[in-house]
Amino acid sequence: MNIQKTINIILALCLLLLIIKMNPLDKNDMNDNGSSTLEIIHQRKSVRNYTEKKVSKEQLETLVKAAMAAPTAVNKQPWAFIAINDRATLDHLGYKLPYAKMTKTASAAIIVCGDLSKALEGWEQAFWIQDCSAASQNILLAAEAMGLGAVWTAAYPAEDRMAIVRDILNLPENIIPLNVIPVGYPKGIEKPKDKWKPENLHWDKW
């Protein structure tokens, strides 16, 4: 085999390896929209402007499945999720909640709630907040991966906002709404913010 032939074979092999690496169908390190997990994390942003395209019940279920995959203290899973795609309820929430007005134009929303009847007791009860926060972040990341847009709007610990959510959704006493997460197809206005500040990272000690 002459040198030119050998070089051609090596080049062809390199090209093949490059194609395999870039193939979006390689499910091991790619998400639904072809992005890697780290890309999704860095692409996520609060989305408050939506098109009129509807989010389906199946998509909402996918988001809640992602939520339920989150870690929880002692694996208690002290949560409940309310998925809403009823227009009147979305409008009612958006009208009453001053910091969640975008719910009026979102095609859906998920309310992440702590369920105190499933939570730990005593001082450990407060772990529900961290558990439900982890679930909420999973929803936001899954929405980004699915080409949807979402934003965490606070209920807990604002008593007035919790009372509004409680009232509209008829929540029992043991169910504490952590947030309202409107979901829709993004208009493409919002961009991710670069929050990397090296001075906030400390190595080995303060």
Ligand X SMILES: Cc1cc2nc3c(=O)[nH]c(=O)nc-3n(C[C@H](O)[C@H](O)[C@H](O)COP(=O)(O)O)c2cc1C
154 scored as a contact of ligand X (CB under 6 A)? yes
Question: Are the beta carbons of 180 and 165 closer than 8 angstroms?
Answer: yes
Q: Look-up: residue for tokens 């847009």? A: 149
- Beta strands per DSSP E along 98-197: 108-115, 149-150, 153-154, 175-184
- Least distance to ligand X from the beta carbon of 147, Å? 16
Question: Are the beta carbons of 168 and 97 closer than 8 angstroms?
Answer: no
Give the whole-angstrom CA distance, residue 35 versus residue 25. Answer: 11
45 scored as a contact of ligand X (CB under 6 A)? yes
Region from 33-41, 61-69, 78-86, 147-155 binding ligand X, contact rule CB under 6 A: 147-155
152 scored as a contact of ligand X (CB under 6 A)? yes
- Within 10 angstroms of residue 154's Cβ, the number of other Cβ atoms is 15
* Cα end-to-end span (Å), the chain: 62
Question: Are the beta carbons of 155 and 178 closer than 8 angstroms?
Answer: yes
**Residues near ligand X (CB under 6 A), total:** 8
Question: How far, CA to CA in Å, does 9 sit from each of 13, 17, 24, 114?
Answer: 6, 12, 25, 60
- Pick from 106, 150, 151, 165: which binds ligand X (CB under 6 A)? 151
- Pick from 99, 124, 147, 163: which binds ligand X (CB under 6 A)? 99
Region from 50-58, 108-116, 117-125, 151-159 binding ligand X, contact rule CB under 6 A: 151-159
- Least distance to ligand X from the beta carbon of 43, Å? 10
Region from 20-28, 67-75, 87-95, 149-157 binding ligand X, contact rule CB under 6 A: 149-157
Two tokens, residue 18: 């490059």
35 scored as a contact of ligand X (CB under 6 A)? no
User: What is the pattern of x (binds ligand X, CB under 6 A) and - over residues 105-134?
Assistant: ------------------------------
Two tokens, residue 193: 């913010």
- Least distance to ligand X from the beta carbon of 99, Å? 3
138 scored as a contact of ligand X (CB under 6 A)? no
Residues making contact with ligand X (CB under 6 A): 45-46, 99, 151-154, 193
